[in-house]
Homo-oligomer: A and B are copies of this chain.
Amino acid sequence: MTRFFVEQDICRDDTLSLTGENAQHAKVLRLKAGETVLLCDGQGMEAVCFVTQISSDEITLSVKERRDSSSEASVQVSVYVAFPKADKLEHVIQKATELGAYEIVAFPSARCISRPDEKSLKKKLERWQKIASSAAEQSGRGRIPQVLTLGSYQEALERAGKADKALLFYENEQATTLKMALSAESFSTVSLMTGPEGGLEQAEVERAEAAGLQVCTLGKRILRCETAPLCALSAVMYHSGEF
C-alpha cells in the first residue's frame, strides 16, 4: 500500500485529499480510482483510504479506517548528540530515523568543533527536519521524529534526565554496561546521550551524573561520534523486543 505523509488533520473529515507534491507523486505512480492508499499524519496516526476522484492537481480520498501506525516502536527513544560536523549530524538524523528514534536532539559541549551560529540555525533545522521526513517515509514510519537543537549542555542534561532511563555513553566508563543499565526495571522513555568527535570532558560526565544520568559503556572499542548513538539505539530497540 502506497504511503503519503500529509500535513492535514486526518482524523477530522472522512474525505481527504492529496495535493502539491503528494498529488504529483500519486500521478507518477499512476494511482487509479478505487485503489487503496495510506495517509500518515507524521504523528503516529494513519488512515487507510480509497481513491474516489482524480483531477489535474488533486486526488480525492474517502477514509476507510483510522489506526495507530503499526510501525512505531513501543519505546520512545530520544537520541541526544553533541554537535558533530555537519555531515555526521545529517548521517545520525537519517539513520536514527530509520532505526525508530522518537526525536533527535543536538546540543553543544565543551569539545564540539562544530556548532551552527544563530543565524544559520533556522535554515539548518529545516534541512535536518527534511532529512528526517524523507527517512521516515522511506523506512515506512508513521511518525516523523522531530529534530531539535538546545542552547547549552545543561539544558540537554535537564531535558534528557526526564526520561525513565537517561543514559550517557562515555569511553572511559568500564564498569557499567548498557545491558546492566537497561536490565534493572522496565521503561517506556529513554534518553541516549553521546559526546562529540573529541569526546566529553570528565567534568561534563560528572555533571551528567549529578543531573541523574547513568554513565555506561558501549564496549571495549572506541566508536566514532556518529557510530555510538546508532549502536546504542540499535541495542535499545533490540532489548525492547523490536526485532
Among the stretches A49-57, A118-126, A185-193, A220-228, the one at the interface with B is A220-228
Residues of B within 8 A of A223 (CB): 98-99, 139
Flag A198-233 by CB within 8 Å of B: 1 or 0 each.
000000000000000000111111111001001110
A237 lies within 8 A of chain B by Cβ: yes
Is B140 touching A221 in the complex (CB atoms < 8 A)? Answer: yes
Size of the chain A interface, CB-CB below 8 angstroms: 36
Residues of B within 8 A of A224 (CB): 98, 138-139
Closest B-chain residue to A242, C-beta based? B219
Is A71 touching B220 in the complex (CB atoms < 8 A)? Answer: yes
Is B219 touching A237 in the complex (CB atoms < 8 A)? Answer: yes
A residues near B, CB below 8 A?
70-73, 95, 98-100, 138-141, 177-179, 216-224, 227, 230-232, 234-235, 237-239, 241-243
Known: A98-B221, A216-B243. 5 other contacts (CB 8 A): A70-B220, A71-B221, A100-B219, A177-B243, A230-B230
